[in-house]
Amino acid sequence: MKKLLLPKVLFVGPPRTGTTWIWEYLRARGDIVLPEGVKETWFFSNMFHKGVGWYASHFKQRRDYSAVIEVDPSLFSHLEAPRRVQKLLGSDVLVVVTVRDPVRRSWSHYLHARRYGWTRKPLEQAIQEIPDIIEASRYSKHIPRWKSVFGEKQVVILYHETLAQSPEIFVRNMCSAIGLPIVDVPEQLFRRKVNISRDVRSQILIRTAMRLSKRLRSHRMYPVIDLFKRMGIQRILYKPLNKGYSLHPQDRAMLFTLLKDEYDFLNVLNRH
């Protein structure tokens, strides 16, 4: 039986911590095997029922490559993901967590949820509707979960703030941590912001588009999704976020109250 080509490095997120930028960097390198046709497969979170054959079909054999990697931020706070990953990929897989200031990450997550039409509610109500706005910032809960399955040495921590301040230093740290040869940041990514938050034009349109996209992804019809994107579907679905839509002091205080323990955890993490 032909040996399946599967990742040995997983970037597990959480969302809004630079994972799209990381994926674009890895793709631009040219020596990394990534899922074909899509950034993340959602296999270990939403598509596990599809089976290993479905997952492995995303990774195409090639002559020369430095690593097989997937970037999937849906995994970080998913309760079943660590054991699923261990079961399929083994205990020696390298798990990479990208952390960001908890309040800023949660706020960005909320704006992202608005962009995709998952909520139109104010932040406090949206948190009840979409728990991951807060849950995915609970590093003190989820990093130990991953370490308990894979061990301290197999869980790598990278910092979004480093990426924001110096992409070159971030890339050097990342490549060193996961054993990749260092390749410079491409010019087009050097100061580029990716996956910028926007707002939706129509709840009905965006929900219809999301349902269609999920169905197409389930059947690996990624070229159809790309065709819609090239046809300008995003201009129909989204509009620029209102410039006045910023984090109000009372919302910032609420987020900090919910996430204050995470700052203590990250301070300890930084010292190790």
Three-state secondary structure of the chain: CCCCCCCCEEEEECCCCCHHHHHHHHHHHCCEECCCCCCCCCCCCCCHHHCHHHHHCCCCCCCCCCEEEEECCCCCCCCCHHHHHHHHHCCCCEEEEEECCHHHHHHHHHHHHHHCCCCCCCHHHHHHHCCHHHHCCCHHHHHHHHHHHHCHHHEEEEEHHHHHHCHHHHHHHHHHHHCCCCCCCCHHHHCCCCCCCEEECCHHHHHHHHHHHHHHHHCCCHHHHHHHHHCCHHHHHEEECCCCCCCCHHHHHHHHHHHHHHHHHHHHHHCC
* 118 confidence band (pLDDT: 50, 70, 90): confident
Position 226 in a domain: no
pTM of the model: 0.83
In a domain, 225, yes or no: no
pLDDT at 56 over 90: yes
39 band by pLDDT with thresholds 50, 70 and 90: very high
The span from the CA of 243 to the CA of 227, in Å, is: 30
Kindly tell me if the per-residue pLDDT of 228 is higher than 60. Answer: no
User: Is 234 a domain residue?
Assistant: no
Question: Cα 238 to the chain's mean position, in Å?
Answer: 21
Token readout for 45 is 């979170």
- CA pair distance 104, 184, nearest whole angstrom: 28
pLDDT score of 243: 55
The CA-to-CA distance between both ends of the chain, in Å, stands at 44
Q: Is pLDDT larger for residue 107 or for residue 200?
A: 107
pLDDT at 117 over 90: no
Q: Which domain holds residue 132?
A: 9-197+241-270
Contact 12, 97 (CB under 8 A): yes
Whether the predicted pLDDT of 196 surpasses 70? no
Q: Give me the CATH number covering residue 70.
A: 3.40.50.300
Tell me whether residue 125 is in a domain: yes
68 domain-assigned:
yes
Cα 29 from Cα 184, distance rounded (Å): 9
Sign of CA pseudo-dihedral 29, 32, 35, 40: negative
So what's the pLDDT on residue 215?
72
Total count of domains within the chain: 1
The two beta strands, 9-13 and 67-71, are parallel
Question: Is-contact 189 167, C-beta < 8 A?
Answer: yes
Beta-bridge mates of residue 99: 159
Give the range among 81-90, 164-173, 204-213 with minimum mean pLDDT: 204-213
